[in-house]
Structure 1
Amino acid sequence: MLAGWDALAAPVTRAATVVHPSTASLRAVDWRKPAQWSYGIHGTPVSRTLGARLAALEGGDHALLQPSGLAAIVNISLGLLQQGDDVLIPDNVYGPSREHGDWLRKFGISARYYDPLMGADIARLIQPNTRLIWIEAPGSVTMEVPDVRAITSAARAHGVHTALDNTWSAGVAFKPFDHGCDISMQALTKYPSGGSDVLMGVTITRDYDLHLKLKRARMMLGFNVSADDCALVLRNLPSTALRYAAHGRSALAIAHWLKMRSEIEKVLHPALPDCGGHAHWKRDFSGSGGLFSVVFNAAFTQAQTDAFIEGLTLFKIGFSWGGAHSLVAPYELSAERNTWPHRGALVRFFIGLEEENDLRADLEHSMARHLTA
């Protein structure tokens, strides 16, 4: 730092090569020691600042930044699993996470899918070779909220690590380590970035030995993040809780409105009493953010629901979420769930920061045009 210099924004420190004052200093470098600077891939001041703030947000002690949310998932799996091991994955998991579970089988790792609402009954699925249980709270499309405490308690009794995808809560509405999780990961692409322009993920732990396992895997995978992207996330991180609450207020109001519409068979929002695992959400979460799904009346064809989506003006069609703009995306669950009871089309909404009344008018107008019996 320059003498006398101080600012609210963290300086952007770009570096691949880190210069050492002596040969002895260079030889003493040990990637396991957090106080040392060794090489850009292991961190620079700006990436460590971001990691420390994210760990504090979630109640953890150690953070590792990744180039995407999926990279964080891969880092956890390849850091903890080896040939002959077994991993349990919830049936309502994020689609690429499910594909990743299938992909692990080529390395001799078995991946099995469990009912996300089975709670403590997961104990009967744990085998001697089970090493990891994934939890997603809630499921990213169908929104069931698991009993995280019951799952982590069963896992600990059998010496099995648990990893939670905490992206939906942004680390704001759910504190994973208070509920027994060993690892929390987030796609920082979503709320922490807030601008729909950064791809990044993070893994957070309390246990230092577990952190080192993940850090070694990240090193072997060659994962790294841009200093400029770290600065972008740091810029938006202080407003995350405020934005999350604003998204949540509008989303819940629109979810209640959609629940009264004849075009909709079911609204899948954790804060609604008829959503799977609502009692767990009410007990464990402090908010709900902007993401939820709906199931349309089965009388409507796919062509009709597609026309409804394409007829929206304020809602843009696209994946990801967490930014200022509202998004909509259709999902075909036949390939993504072992069981799914509904026949109507499932559509996921992300409610952005536009005026709630304008968004509701946009939905109503497209329904009137395209969803007629």
Structure 2
Amino acid sequence: MTRQISERAAPSTALLGAGRSGNTVAQPIRRASTLLFDTVADLDRAKAARFDKGTEFYGRFGTRDVFAFEEAVSVLEGAEASLAVPSGLAACVLPFVAFVKPGDHVLIADTAYEPARTSFVQYIARNNVEVEFYDPTIGAEISELIRPETRLIYLESPGSMTFEVQDIPAIAAAARARGVMTVCDNTWATGYFCRPLALGADISVQAATKYIVGHSDAMLGTLSVADTELLTPLRQAANWLGYHVSPDDVFLAARGLRTLPARLELHRTGALEVASWMESRPGIRRVIHPGLSSHSGHALWKRDFTGSTGLFAAVLDITDRAQAVRFVEALRHFGLGFSWGGFESLTLLGDPSGARTATRWTETGTLCRFHIGLEAVADLIGDLDQALASAGLGETVAA
């Protein structure tokens, strides 16, 4: 049986039933390479429609469990259709492969995810595509950077590591007026707290590795489109690159979707509590969290987002790297590692200055990124407190 979900249902309710069919609660895993057909005519029809949404042709193009997950992601993002790919980076790069050609010009937010930035500069640009970075706070003034040969604008809001909030509606409107496509990395907000497509973007991409999977045990990316006409070129480009998503990873991501709203609420409240505590803590020069009124983009965030997640940054009152290393290595409840979005709290030292061209990072101090997991907030605050003291940043105070 297929569950019928009311269009008026809350997002958390809709996600519980999205993309589900059959008589099992959990979507079954279907591992397949070869798919069999009853007749040559059936095979020929499938081949002709292999890039269409929901067509089963060959395992690399997807099976029913993959299509069911993509349908659920469309519900999350408020999209006409979605496509799953092997990683978040794959999702970031695929629109460029699908829609950008030699001689085109593209505009990239200067605060974009650094591996994506590297791919644009070292892979996309070598195909005679001009890659230009722009200040993420530019808003409607981006129209001044759009040329006749501009094909695509790539946004990420909030920005990677430094969390600048972009004016998505203004940029999307300026782009649409000139016939330019917009792609927005929505990994931070997931579709639950922000829907870039509703704000005017053409494509929303996510590293489903992060919050959708939610347990740091699978890699996956998603692309969601506002117009189904965009889906076929993306599926064709995915085929050119030989992209295929593991059915086991799709199973984990589909399972993660069902608990996404509950987990995000815990990430949201925990991160806001920790970030607010940090703002009053000696040793912290500045906290960078869009959900705080102190953030320069807070008004935009409040207008376009319905909540915040667990990822933010702080500038430590430290200029000596060895002292910063002492701080992160003294943490007991925070893992030290890349990625985020799982149940565990993480931290990472960063230096954005080497990955900027349109803007400059001139902050005095050391940037430290935090992901607040599902641990008790009091334990995390106590841990941060003792680590700051271990690094010589003031005396330990009560949490």
Q: TM-score range by the shorter chain?
A: over 0.9
CA contact 1:293–1:347 (8 Å) conserved in 2: yes
Map 1:331-346 → 2, pairs under 5 A: 331-338=350-357, 339-346=360-367
Q: 2:192 aligns with which of 162, 172, 195?
A: 172
Map 1:297-316 → 2, pairs under 5 A: 297-298=317-318, 300-316=319-335
Tell me which residue corresponds to 1:22.
39
Q: Is structure 2 residue 87 aligned with structure 1 residue 68? A: yes
**1:25–1:350: structure 2 CA closer, same or farther, 3 Å change rule?**
same
State the TM-score, normalizing by the size of structure 2.
0.90
Tell me which residue corresponds to 2:16.
none
Tell me which residue corresponds to 1:90.
109
Tell me which residue corresponds to 1:48.
67
Q: 2:216 aligns with which of 166, 189, 196?
A: 196
**1:36–1:101: structure 2 CA closer, same or farther, 3 Å change rule?**
closer
Tell me which residue corresponds to 2:286.
266
- How far the C-alpha of 1:262 sits from its partner, in A, is 2.0
Corresponding residue SS for 1:246? helix
CA contact 2:201–2:226 (8 Å) conserved in 1: no
Corresponding residue SS for 1:89? strand
Q: Over residues 2-59 of structure 1, what are the superposed CA-to-partner deviations in whole Å (9 max), with x where a residue is unaligned? A: xxx7111111111111101111111222213335321111110110000000011110
Q: 1:347 aligns with which of 368, 371, 378?
A: 368
Q: Over residues 183-234 of structure 1, what are the superposed CA-to-partner deviations in whole Å (9 max), with x where a residue is unaligned? A: 0010000111011001000001121221111111001111010111111111
Tell me which residue corresponds to 1:160.
180
Corresponding residue SS for 2:131? strand
Tell me which residue corresponds to 1:294.
314
What is the distance in 1 between the residues matched to 2:53 and 2:130?
A: 34
Corresponding residue SS for 2:300? helix
What is the distance in 2 between the residues matched to 1:343 and 1:333?
A: 12
Percent identity of equivalent pairs: 41
Question: Which runs of no fewer than 5 residues in structure 2 stay unpaired?
Answer: 2-21, 395-399
Tell me which residue corresponds to 1:34.
53
CA contact 2:54–2:64 (8 Å) conserved in 1: no
- How far the C-alpha of 1:333 sits from its partner, in A, is 1.4
What is the distance in 2 between the residues matched to 1:301 and 1:79?
A: 45
Q: Is structure 2 residue 142 aligned with structure 1 residue 122? A: yes
Q: 1:367 aligns with which of 382, 388, 398?
A: 388
CA contact 1:147–1:277 (8 Å) conserved in 2: no
Corresponding residue SS for 1:83? coil
Q: 2:341 aligns with which of 301, 315, 322?
A: 322
Letter paired with 2:201:
C
Corresponding residue SS for 1:247? helix
CA contact 2:93–2:120 (8 Å) conserved in 1: no
User: Aligned pairs, how many?
Assistant: 369
Map 1:1-16 → 2, pairs under 5 A: 6-16=23-33
What is the distance in 2 between the residues matched to 1:88 and 1:46?
A: 35
Letter paired with 1:138:
P
State the TM-score, normalizing by the size of structure 1.
0.97
What is the distance in 1 between the residues matched to 2:391 and 2:76?
A: 44
What is the distance in 2 between the residues matched to 1:35 and 1:234?
A: 17
Q: Is structure 2 residue 303 aligned with structure 1 residue 283? A: yes
Corresponding residue SS for 2:82? strand
Q: Over residues 331-372 of structure 1, what are the superposed CA-to-partner deviations in whole Å (9 max), with x where a residue is unaligned? A: 111211231120211000000000000000000011111134
- How far the C-alpha of 1:236 sits from its partner, in A, is 1.6
What is the distance in 1 between the residues matched to 2:354 and 2:384?
A: 28
Tell me which residue corresponds to 1:205.
225
- How far the C-alpha of 1:276 sits from its partner, in A, is 2.9
The CA RMSD measured in Å over matched residues stands at 1.3
What is the distance in 2 between the residues matched to 1:101 and 1:42?
A: 25
CA contact 1:89–1:114 (8 Å) conserved in 2: yes
Corresponding residue SS for 1:304? helix
Tell me which residue corresponds to 1:137.
157
What is the distance in 2 between the residues matched to 1:28 and 1:51?
A: 22
